[in-house]
Structure 1
């Protein structure tokens, strides 16, 4: 599965513990990444500053569902059930 252009669910729903330019302490779950554009595109895509966890994310139907809203729900749920 390819990422849906303009989705951005993976840049909003999960927490990211590694530093992100503009967010040196990462970001909490449910908070929009500062690198996510108004069109829900990552401004760090393909850049070395992009966190490894972001570069390593692979879109899958089980994670991303059928649309952006479903992706936010699924990723948010996964965040809650795996939070330490």
Structure 2
């Protein structure tokens, strides 16, 4: 599955414990990453300062669903389960 540009669910719904430029303590679940631009695109994409956890994320239907709304719901539910 290819990432849906402009979705941003993986940059909002989950908690990220790794430091992120501008968010040295990471980010809590449900909080928008500071590196997510107004078009829901990562400002650090391809940058070596991008957290490894972000670069390692592989979109799949089980996590991302069939649209952005479903992705937000699924990732939020997964976050609650962990």
TM-score (norm 2): 0.99
Count of residue pairs brought into register by the alignment: 82
Listed one character per residue, the Cα deviations across residues 56-78 of structure 1 (whole Å, up to 9, x for unaligned) are 00000000001111000000000
Q: Which runs of 5+ in 1 are unaligned?
A: none
Alignment of 1:37-48 (within 5 A): 37-48=37-48
Q: Which residue does the alignment assign to 2:49?
A: 49
Provide the C-alpha distance between the structure 1 equivalents of 2:29 and 2:69, rounded to a whole number of angstroms. Answer: 15
Q: Which runs of 5+ in 2 are unaligned?
A: none
- Residue 45 of structure 1, CA deviation: 0.3
Provide the C-alpha distance between the structure 2 equivalents of 1:66 and 1:13, rounded to a whole number of angstroms. Answer: 16
Matched, 1:21 2:25: no
Provide the C-alpha distance between the structure 1 equivalents of 2:60 and 2:12, rounded to a whole number of angstroms. Answer: 17
TM-score (norm 1): 0.97
Provide the C-alpha distance between the structure 2 equivalents of 1:73 and 1:52, rounded to a whole number of angstroms. Answer: 24
Provide the C-alpha distance between the structure 1 equivalents of 2:30 and 2:67, rounded to a whole number of angstroms. Answer: 17
